[in-house]
Amino acid sequence: MAAWDLVAVGRLSLDLYALEETPKPATRAFGAFIGGNPLNVAVGASRLGLRAALVSAVGEDPVGEFILARLAAEGVDIAYVFTKPGFLTPAVVLFREPGGVYPLTFYRERAPDAALTLAELDGVPIEATRVLFVSGSALAREPTRSAVFALAERARRAGVAVYLDLDFRPTLWHDPRAYGVVVRSFLPWVHVAIGGVKEIKALRPGAVRVVAHQGTEPEVEGDLEGAIREALGAGLEALVIKGGEKGSGVRFPDGTGLWVEAFTVPVVTPLGAGDAFAAGLVWARLSGLGWREALTVANAAGALVASRLACADAAPRREELLDFLRERGVYVGA
């Protein structure tokens, strides 16, 4: 029996989210949460009953202590969350402006999770998990990039399913165009990739324009169908497409696919919904569900988080997720 069901690798942060929707100068109160794409997925998976671990790093500071304590309380294995003296644990600040505007600011100068080494990740027994979940932003900088490549190579050769969340955050890269170059070279080690339309286009973009502060929602020009074909041609077994309020779908190398409509909920903020979607998808697939059921489960998990303020802290637990589905007449075999 594997030690873990899921090992997620990549960034983490302290998330400071405005507790009220108001112009930035009028904001007075923030909630302290934990976040970062792979951290959110690890917590979401743990809440659904999977044995989850996180591979990342914090600084030797109180913020790092806060995150480690919260992760441990969520049941996430933190044996491979390294503490790095001389580095500062990252933070993200969210303002909530009227009109559904959510400007994010990343504070990641000397981020320890961008300094993971080959030697550190060589010590991760990745063969002891069922799924390796990689955040695309983990490929943005060395030495973490090479360390993650090596980890994914080991996982794939050991028969571990490798999931990649495209996680395109242009300001985390020295040039947004480098994202596509690097991620395309990583795809041969991946079984399932997950991304939104913009993230898929960014694999080979015509142009990228940052329209929100720190570029969490950039405009990306490109050939979506061409990018899908190229990604599937790189060796993927499936490419999962997140469509937000429109739902989600999956495409396969033989040209087939399917689409599942979203659940309608009152949206507080869409941030973190995609990570809950990914956790729900992995849980459903590991539970033996087919793609249509798995996408339905993932849509439900994403909808629940979109209706709340927070990312990891808002992730649903298994019974809550199943209750949400049952209330809408959906019964899954997990």
Q: What is the pLDDT of residue 84?
A: 98
Tens of pLDDT, residue by residue over 12-45, are: 999 999 999 999 999 999 999 999 999 999 999 9
CB-CB contact of 21 with 97 (8 Å): yes
Domains parsed from the chain with CATH numbers? 4-11+38-89+110-327 (3.40.1190.20)
List Cβ neighbours of 95 (8 Å cut-off, separation of 6 or more). Answer: 18, 24, 27, 102, 103
pLDDT of residue 212: 55
Q: Under DSSP, is residue 289 helix (H, G, I), strand (E, B) or coil?
A: coil
Q: For position 57, what pLDDT does the model report? A: 98
Give the span between the Cα atoms of 11 and 119, in whole angstroms.
Answer: 18
Indicate the DSSP class of residue 241: E
Residue 97 carries which DSSP code?
B
The predicted structure's pLDDT at residue 221: 81
Task: Give the CA-trace dihedral at 151, 156, 159, 162, to 10 degrees.
Answer: 80
280-290 exposure pattern, b = at least 16 Cβ within 10 A, e = fewer: bbbbbbbbebe
CA distances from 67 to 13, 90, 126, 270 (A): 8, 10, 23, 22
**Per-residue confidence (pLDDT) for residue 214, from 0 to 100:** 45
Q: What is the amino acid identity at position 273?
A: A
Note the pLDDT tens digit of each residue in 164-207: 999 999 889 998 889 999 999 999 999 999 999 999 999 987 66
Which residue stretches of 15-122 are H helix? 37-47, 62-73, 118-122
Upper half-sphere CA count for residue 28 (Cβ side, 13 Å): 1
What pLDDT is stored for residue 216 in this prediction?
55
pLDDT of 217 reads: 64
The CA distance from 281 to 193, in Å, is 11
For residue 62, the tally of other CB atoms under 10 A from its CB is 10
Give the residue numbers annotated as catalytic, written as ranges: 275
The segments of the chain whose pLDDT lies below 70 read: 206-207, 209-217, 334
Q: What is the pLDDT of residue 215?
A: 43
Tell me the sheet residues that pair with 193.
Answer: 164, 239
Q: Residue 10 to residues 49, 167, 184, 302: CA-CA distances in angstroms?
A: 21, 10, 18, 20
> In a 3-state reduction of DSSP, which class is residue 216?
coil
**Secondary structure (3-state) at 226:** helix
Paired tokens of 187: 């795809």
On average, the pLDDT of the chain sits at: 94
Q: 333 Cβ partners below 8 Å, 6+ apart?
A: 287, 288, 289, 293
Cα–Cα dist 244/262, whole Å: 7
Distance CA 66, CA 14 (A): 8
